[in-house]
Amino acid sequence: MTLSLSNVAHAPPSESRRWLALVFIALGQLMVALDATIVNVALPSVQQSLGFADVERHWVVTAYLLPFAGTLLLGGRIADSFGQKRALLVGLAGFAMASLLGGTATSLSTLMAARALQGLFGALLSPTALSLVAVSFPDPRARAKAFGVYGAVAACGASLGLVLGGWLMRVADWRFCLYVNVVFAAVALVGASLTLVAPRRTERPKLDLLGALLVGLGVTAVVLGCTSAYAEGWGSPAVLSRIGLGAALLGLFLLRQKHTSSPLLPLAILFDRNRALASLVAALAVAAMFGLFLLLTYHFQVVSRHSPLETGLAFLPMSLAAMFGSSVLARWLGSFLAPRVLIPAALAVAALGMLLIARVDVHSAYFTHIAPAEILVGLGIGSTMMPAFSLATSGVDPRDAGIASAMIATAQQIGGSIGTAFLNTMAASASAAYLSEHAGAVSEALVHGSRAAAGWGAFILVLAASCARGLTNPVASRSNS
C-alpha cells in the first residue's frame, strides 16, 4: 500500500526550522520524563508538609501513573484527529497549569488531583512529541539523527529527575519540584508555537470513546495490579484479579477495534510485525532498566548512605551513556547494521552490565564496580531505544502517527510497571530469605536481594534480544492506512 497524504497538506519547513523545533519537542518530552522521578525525591518532605500517613504516600506517585498509562492511546488519537502541533501546545499548557496547582497544594487530595491532571496531559504530550519527530523527519538519515536526540531524552530523563529533584530540595523546597515544570513548559510552548508547522487537515477521524474507555480501564487495571504487587505479592487475589480484569477489558477493546468503523488503534498498526516487536522490545528493555533504577536507588541511599542529590549524581554515568548510545552510537552503527542485528547486540551489552550489578557486594567501590556497569547498561538501552522508536513509527500514515507513537509509549509504561514490581518482588524475597539466616545483616540482605534481581534483569534483556531477532528490514513505503 502506498503512503496516503490525503488529509495532510503543507509545505515542508526549512531544515534549520525543523531542527530548532526538535529542541522544543524534546524539551516537552524531557519534562514528562523528569516528572516520573523528580517528585519521588521530595516525598518525605511532601508527607511532612501536608501531614498524610505512610499508607497514603504512594498515591502521590500512583495518581500520576494511572491516568498517564490509561490514556496514552487516547492521547495519540487526539493528536491525529486535531493536529500534532495543537495537541502539543495544549499538552504543554495543561501540564504547566497542573504543576502549578500541585505546587500550591495544601492537602493530599489537591495534590492527587494535580498529579492526575499531570498524568492526563502527559499522556497527550508523550505520543504527540514522538509522532512529531516521526512526521517531521521523513528522510532516513535525518530521521535517525532526530530519533537519536529523542531517544537520549527518553532514556536519561528519569535519572536526571533525581539529580534535579535532589538539587531543588537542597536549595528550595518540594514545591519547586513541581514549579520547575512551569518553566520547562513555558519555554517549550513559546518555542514550539514559533517553529512547528501546523498542516492543513481536510478530514478529521472520529474518536472511538468506548474503545478509549475500555483500553483506559484495561491498562489502568494492569498497571495498578503490577504496582500493588510490591506490598501484596504476585499471587495475591487482589493483584491477580486486577490483572485479570485488565486483560479481559483489553480483550474487549481488541474486539471493539475489529468491528468499529473508526478504531482507536487500527489492528493493522497493532499487528505490524516490526511495530509489535519494537514495542515489545522497548517494554522489556524499560522493565529491566526501571527495575535496576529502583535497586540502585536503595543501594545508594541505604547501603552507601548517599543523600538524594548524591544518589541522583550517582546515576549520571548511566544517563550520559544512554544519551551517547542513543544520539551518537546507535546512529553510527545503524548506518551499516540492520535493526535485527543492532538491537540484540545493544541489549547484550546492557545484559552484561546487569550481570556486573549481580556481582556487587556491600564493599564494592562505586567507580570500579558500579559505574562501569551503569555505563554498559546505559549504552545498551540507549542504543536500543533509537532504532526501536524509529521502527515503531516508520511507514505509518501521518493520520496514524500519533496512535503508533502511543502504542510504543503504552508498551513502555506497562513494561516499566511490570519490571519494577517484578524485580522488586524478586529482590525483597531474596533479601527476606537472607535475613532469616543472617539476622540483623540489613545491608548485606539488601545487596543479596539486588544481586538476585539483577540476574533476573539480565534474563529479561536476553529475552528482549531474542525477540529483536524476529525484526525484518523496514520498508519505507509501508503503510497501515
Mean pLDDT over residues 451-468, rounded? 96
The answer to whether residues 240 and 192 belong to one domain is no
Residue 181 has pLDDT above 50, yes or no: yes
The answer to whether residues 88 and 162 belong to one domain is yes
The answer to whether residues 214 and 117 belong to one domain is no
* Residues of the domain holding 331: 13-197+264-468
Residue 220 has pLDDT above 60, yes or no: yes
Range with the poorest average pLDDT among 131-145, 179-193, 323-337, 466-480: 466-480
Share of the chain above pLDDT 90, in %: 45
Mean pLDDT over residues 75-81, rounded? 90
Cell 535475613 belongs to residue: 435
Q: 201 by DSSP, 3-state: which?
A: strand
Q: 139 by DSSP, 3-state: which?
A: coil
The answer to whether residues 313 and 450 belong to one domain is yes
Looking at per-residue pLDDT, the higher value among 342 and 62 belongs to 342
Burial class (CB in 10 A: 0-12, 13-18, 19+), 209: exposed
Looking at per-residue pLDDT, the higher value among 298 and 462 belongs to 462
* Total number of domains in the chain: 2
Cell 515503531 belongs to residue: 392
Burial class (CB in 10 A: 0-12, 13-18, 19+), 259: exposed
End-to-end C-alpha distance for the chain, whole angstroms: 8
Report if residue 236 sits inside a domain.
yes
Element containing residue 445 per DSSP (H, E):
helix 442-468
Mean pLDDT over residues 190-205, rounded? 77
Write down the pTM of the prediction: 0.85
Nearest by Cα to 153 from 323, 334, 20: 323
Residue 420 has pLDDT above 90, yes or no: no
Out of 263, 292, 309, a domain closes at: 263
Report if residue 424 sits inside a domain.
yes
List residues bridging with 201 in a β-sheet. Answer: 8
Out of 263, 281, 306, a domain closes at: 263
Per-residue pLDDT reduced to its tens digit, 234-288: 888 999 999 999 999 999 999 999 988 888 888 888 889 999 999 999 999 999 9
Residue 396 has pLDDT above 60, yes or no: yes
Amino acid type, 253: F
Residue 3 has pLDDT above 50, yes or no: no
The answer to whether residues 217 and 301 belong to one domain is no
The answer to whether residues 24 and 142 belong to one domain is yes
Looking at per-residue pLDDT, the higher value among 58 and 145 belongs to 145
Phi (first) and psi of residue 377, to 5 degrees:
-65, -45
pLDDT of the residue at 201: 60
The answer to whether residues 390 and 415 belong to one domain is yes
Report if residue 233 sits inside a domain.
yes
The answer to whether residues 325 and 403 belong to one domain is yes
The answer to whether residues 387 and 455 belong to one domain is yes
Burial class (CB in 10 A: 0-12, 13-18, 19+), 236: middle
The answer to whether residues 216 and 311 belong to one domain is no
pLDDT of the residue at 475: 52
pLDDT of the residue at 478: 42
Evaluate whether 478 touches 330 at the Cβ level (below 8 Å): no
Report if residue 8 sits inside a domain.
no
pLDDT band at 11 (very low <50, low <70, confident <90, very high): very low
Report if residue 73 sits inside a domain.
yes
pLDDT of the residue at 480: 41
Report if residue 5 sits inside a domain.
no
The answer to whether residues 177 and 257 belong to one domain is no
pLDDT of the residue at 479: 39
Mean pLDDT for all residues in the chain: 87
pLDDT band at 113 (very low <50, low <70, confident <90, very high): very high
The answer to whether residues 117 and 158 belong to one domain is yes
pLDDT band at 477 (very low <50, low <70, confident <90, very high): very low
